[in-house]
Amino acid sequence: MAIGIKICSLLSDLLVVLLVVAVTLERGACSSFNRSSFPDGFIFGTSSSSYQSEGAAMEGGKGPSIWDTFTHAHSDGSLSEGINKEVVEFYNNLINELISNGLQPLVTIFHWDLPQALEDKYGGFLSNRIIEDYVDYAEVCFKEFGDRVKHWITFNEPWSFCSFGYASGTSAPGRCSPWAGNCTAGDSGREPYTVCHNQLLAHASAVKVYKNKYQGTQKGKIGITLVSHWFIPYSDSKPDQDAAQRSLDFMYGWFMDPLTRGDYPFSMKAIVGNRLPKFTEQQSELIKGSYDFIGLNYYTTNYAYSVPPSNGLHTSYTTDSQANTTGVRNGIPLGPQAASAWLYIYPPGIRDLLLYTKTRYDNPVIYITENGVDEFNIPSLPLKLALKDDIRVSFHQKHILNIYKAIREGVNLKGYFVWSFMDDFEWGGGYIYRFGLVFVDYNDGLKRCRKKSARWFHRFLNK
């Protein structure tokens, strides 16, 4: 991989879990709810991703990713050309700067920005050839940065990458069945499952390399980050209860079942049939237990209700679950709606999802790697008003309270990261939405200003 990928195009997320702070205050030393209410060693931080905040597609020999192509519509994307030392130096400097300021970097290796060269060469994650290239790239990261990076995340949100990139075609690489959207190629009923199958195998293969060659000396941990909504049955009927469970299976169990049991959920196998790839016995053993921790991204909750199967002519991941979801029941929203139409604010959902994970998946070590809410970017809004993000303060207060409750109920939660550190490029939404604690002034040279939420978070962490 000229992997300098290279390391830039794919060191996708120095999550830059900026502002990571470990809790070291004495247990029981608090009289009010704040950072010291949490167990010793509990980590608070913020998240960001390189593509969304760095840009610079052609700097340092990096080369375009599928998102550069998707949003504007090279290097060869492999290690055959050697390692890009300029990019390694960039991330070494960043990691060293974080550590020198008392911050722990949690590094995500892949956050959706696959080198376009690999997409062109063999179809990217549609091909199992990607597994070897991905593992080669991950090993470069372990070698170059593993002496200082103690938490690795192999993939961020494979569900999002597969469903939006290959079922609806609304994200890079923009593939779907011709009838499903404005796509030039794809198969919405097969490709999402193929791509996520290969991502699971790439994840497990990289974990094996890390554990066999690096973990013993570097003393780090490795996991994967998944995203899931919480789902509530639309009614008390058995069909709607089953629909809520299928919704969880098709979004969360798609990955957690293989990671903990070595195979896909029964509901997926029964409905998807031969469109769902099968693991060999060896692959099943490779994937099962291939994590030290699970990163979990939570944003919202939906009602789920049962719908009949599709007619069989137009199969798609988007309809395979035989469930529709909504944030409104009987005309009443589940919670306040954020700027994004899909994001209904429902803080109890994060606790419900954590308790579900504890019960169903053997209580793994979990980090909430993303949790956030967005507001519209209104260029004409005076800066003073733009910085007054009371909705975000309330959002994080209530979600942190719910994770606190989950910990007291036995969930093995070790950290919480706000999405996001600063306003950024929100994929298909561009600069329409603002998730950050830090305001980026797009009208004034990208000047940064702390929002009210950043000041609140600072006070919360320092009490």
Position 196 scores a pLDDT of 99
Position 8 scores a pLDDT of 32
In a domain, 107, yes or no: yes
- Angle, alpha carbons 244-245-247 (nearest 5°): 65
In a domain, 56, yes or no: yes
CATH of the domain at 454: 3.20.20.80
In a domain, 282, yes or no: yes
Radius of gyration over every alpha carbon of the chain, rounded to an integer in angstroms: 21
Angstrom distance (rounded) from CA 103 to CA 239? 48
Out of 139, 191, 370, 426, the active site residue is: 370
Range of the domain at 172: 35-461
In a domain, 401, yes or no: yes
Angstrom distance (rounded) from CA 84 to CA 109? 16
Partners of residue 151 on adjacent β-strands = 106, 221
Position 85 scores a pLDDT of 87
pLDDT tens across 142-201, in order?
A: 999 999 999 999 999 999 999 999 999 999 999 999 999 899 999 999 999 999 999 999
In a domain, 13, yes or no: no
- Main-chain phi, psi angles of 54, to 5 degrees: -95, -45
In a domain, 24, yes or no: no
Q: Which segments of 106-167 does DSSP mark as H helices, in order? A: 116-122, 129-145, 158-166
Helix, strand, coil % in the chain, rounded to nearest 5? 45, 15, 40
How far, in Å, are 422, 436, 449 from residue 454 at the CA level?
Answer: 10, 9, 9
In a domain, 361, yes or no: yes
- Main-chain phi, psi angles of 295, to 5 degrees: -85, 135
Residue 59 known to be catalytic:
no
Q: Which long-range contacts (CB under 8 A, 24 or more apart) does 157-160 make?
A: 157/112, 157/225, 157/226, 157/227, 157/297, 158/196, 158/199, 158/200, 158/224, 158/226, 158/255, 159/196, 159/226, 159/227, 159/228, 159/251, 159/252, 159/254, 159/255, 160/112, 160/227
Task: Kindly report the pTM of this predicted structure.
Answer: 0.90
Do residues 2 and 61 lie in contact, with contact meaning Cβ atoms separated by under 8 Å? yes
The closest of 460, 309, 440 to 387, measured between CA atoms, is 440
Angstrom distance (rounded) from CA 310 to CA 308? 7
In a domain, 30, yes or no: no
Cα-Cα-Cα-Cα torsion 170, 173, 177, 181, nearest 10 degrees, comes to: 30
The low-confidence residues of the chain, meaning pLDDT below 70, are 1-31, 50-77, 80-81
Residue 139 known to be catalytic:
no
Angstrom distance (rounded) from CA 192 to CA 321? 13
Q: What is the token pair recorded at 444?
A: 């004034």
| Helices 158-166 + 191-213 axis angle, to 10 | 150
Cα-Cα-Cα-Cα torsion 403, 412, 226, 318, nearest 10 degrees, comes to: -70
Position 5 scores a pLDDT of 32
Out of 119, 144, 157, 426, the active site residue is: 157
Query: Which is it for strands 328-329 and 332-333: parallel, antiparallel or unpaired?
Result: antiparallel
Position 10 scores a pLDDT of 38
Position 86 scores a pLDDT of 87
- The structural domain count of the chain equals 1
Position 16 scores a pLDDT of 40
